[in-house]
Structure 1
Amino acid sequence: MAAPQTPEFASLAVGDVVAEQSFALTRDTLVRYAGASGDFNPIHYRDDVAKAVGLPGVLAHGMLTMGFAVQPVVDWAVDPGRVVDYQVRFTRPVVVDPELGAVVQVVAKVGQLDAEAAVARIDLTVKVGDETVLGKAQVRVELGDRGGR
């Protein structure tokens, strides 16, 4: 089986969907992420605390959501070092139901092409159900010759 190839800049057009993926989150996911990140804020695992501070329920960590959202682009680019910038705005919290969990859906489309630098701006649509949870989510990916890097 051949190794995956980095996409060719010349083959891209604005509007192309380069990746789509869904991620299922459960309360177990949140506990594991808390252990890995060291973020043990109880709004990420206790409904009573989340509701006491005015939240609708337990929320996924923002950085966890941000990490899931960029993963399809990292996979598409093949080499994570090609991701030269990544930014988002947190627009809505991801509420993780104790029984149903939550499903984060990501669609990655080419938003802009910089031919001189061979950099593609990939725009992410990140939703849970019909609600956008990350706004202005953009990833800049360098697709030119990296001179042996």
Structure 2
Amino acid sequence: MTEILERQSFESLAIGDTITGAPFHPTRETIRDFCEASLDYNPLHWDDDYMKGSFGKTSFGGIIMHGMTNFGILTKMLTDWLYPMGGVHRRLETRWKAPVKPGDAIVPTGTVTAKKETAKSRWAVIAVEIKNQHGATIAQGEAMAEFPPAR
């Protein structure tokens, strides 16, 4: 479950507020499920023989989780946080930094870095990141959320 901030409105959000999403523990089965759901059957994600040794200049040492699973984990964290406040997740840009393997434990987090009000809406910018059980950054980027205009 996403740790929801005690603040429950755009007005009370502060720069530096943090969000922590639900931990995710990828398995061979969850990786295979994503292959089926996304129709992405790249052998990086399911073929142990293909992944033996090195792949290009990088040695993964086994199958890896789809990078887009990170995107989904971040989206869930943002949606769980925004929905109770009436906010909507509008944009998410991420960079994959390291592979995730079956057996890893990854946790998404976010930090509010900016707030802005325009004539038509209100916006929050959130720095997002996923780290593994060793503290290594797996993915990082930025999200934008829109909140209903003040009445």
CA RMSD of aligned residues (A): 2.3
TM-score (norm 1): 0.81
Decide which structure has greater helix share. 1
Match of 2:68 in 1: 63
What is the CA–CA distance in structure 1 between the aligned matches of 2:26 and 2:111, rounded to whole Å?
A: 23
- 3-state SS in 1 of match to 2:64: coil
What is the CA–CA distance in structure 2 between the aligned matches of 1:32 and 1:20, rounded to whole Å?
A: 21
Counting matched residue pairs gives 137
Q: Match for 2:99 among 74, 93, 104? A: 93
Match of 2:125 in 1: 121
Q: Deviations over 1:9-61 (max 9, x none)?
A: 11100110134321111110011111110011121122321234232221000
Match of 1:108 in 2: 110
TM-score (norm 2): 0.80
- 3-state SS in 2 of match to 1:40: coil
1:28 paired with 2:29, answer yes
CA contact (8 A) 2:70 2:130 kept: no
Amino acid at match of 1:71: K
| Structure having greater relative contact order (Cα 8 Å, sep ≥ 6) | 1
Match of 1:138 in 2: 142
What is the CA–CA distance in structure 2 between the aligned matches of 1:62 and 1:14, rounded to whole Å?
A: 28
What is the CA–CA distance in structure 1 between the aligned matches of 2:74 and 2:68, rounded to whole Å?
A: 10
1:73 paired with 2:88, answer no
What is the CA–CA distance in structure 2 between the aligned matches of 1:95 and 1:107, rounded to whole Å?
A: 19
CA contact (8 A) 1:56 1:95 kept: no
Equivalent positions of 1:13-24 (< 5 A) are 13-24=14-25
- 3-state SS in 2 of match to 1:35: helix
**Unmatched segments (≥5 aa) in structure 2:** 1-7
1:83 paired with 2:85, answer no
What is the CA–CA distance in structure 2 between the aligned matches of 1:61 and 1:37, rounded to whole Å?
A: 10
Match of 2:3 in 1: none
- What's the CA shift for 1:85? 0.8
Amino acid at match of 1:60: M
